[in-house]
Amino acid sequence: MSSFNTNLFKSIDFQESVIDMNFDLGARCHVLIGEMEDLGAREVAVDCLDCLKQTQARETDKLADLTEVLVETQAGIHQKEGHVAKIDLND
């Protein structure tokens, strides 16, 4: 395997690890939101809960966008690998 491919796969593994970590954090945040909702309507808890929900929504949207970028990047990488293979055949 070429150095390019090795570094590429390490980069993809890292990106996928970050996405997995964000999903885990999102799940934990979701549990925390549920626990805070169970506390009932206390002033501080309600304010914190609203902030947490807004943060969770923003981070979920950001993760969806980053996941889409990762998928598009991987498709581009595969296309470039095909180009490299064609160029190597012409040498």
pLDDT digits (tens, 9 = 90+) for 23-33: 676 777 777 77
Q: How many domains does the chain have?
A: 1
CA atoms within 13 A on the CB side of 77: 14
**What pLDDT sits at residue 5?**
54
pLDDT tens readout for residues 50-86: 888 898 889 889 988 988 888 888 889 889 888 888 8
Rg (CA), the chain: 21
pLDDT tens readout for residues 29-49: 777 777 777 776 666 667 777
* Domain extent at residue 32: 3-90
The CA-atom distances, in angstroms, between 3 and each of 6, 15, 31 are 5, 18, 42
